[in-house]
Amino acid sequence: MENISHLTEEEWRVRLNPEEFRVLRQAGTEAPWTGKYVDTKTPGTYSCRACGAKLFESVTKFDSHCGWPSFDEALPGTIRYIEDRSHGMVRVEVRCANCDSHLGHRFDGEGFTPKNARYCINSISLDLEPSSDS
């Protein structure tokens, strides 16, 4: 994993395609049900598309029927949390702790899993490295 938090926005524009830049660097959102990992059940580890930092294990992924990949737990120390009061609601934005790229949002108290958390993550923010036994 490369620490690339020092890159300028222009350097990010060169590294990422326009849609990746919009979501990862401008806190955009991909359209629901369009991401490649929405229904993926492949065992493995999900990493930040921008810097390669490991973020989520596939065993924490669950089907929340929200249109984006959902996880109930991030790997310790991999996520930075920011209060987001946009769109007339209070929610928690999640960013990669390594490169500060936008990943999605975390919602608590919905009861989907015993951990009572839903990380709603844009597929375009992630890369999946399948397990060697999958």
Strand partners, 127: 47
Residue 54 falls within a domain, yes or no? yes
Residue 113 falls within a domain, yes or no? yes
* pLDDT tens by residue, 107-130: 999 999 999 999 999 999 999 999
Report how far residue 72's alpha carbon sits from residue 108's, in angstroms, rounded to the nearest whole number: 9
Selecting among 48, 51, 99, 120, the annotated active-site residue is 120
Residue 63 falls within a domain, yes or no? yes
Tell me, yes or no, if 66 is annotated catalytic: no
* pLDDT tens by residue, 1-52: 555 767 888 999 999 999 999 999 999 999 999 999 999 999 999 999 999 9
Report how far residue 126's alpha carbon sits from residue 103's, in angstroms, rounded to the nearest whole number: 8
Give the residue numbers spanning the domain of 87.
31-130
Residue 22 falls within a domain, yes or no? no
CATH of residue 84: 2.170.150.20
Query: How many domains does one find in the chain?
Result: 1
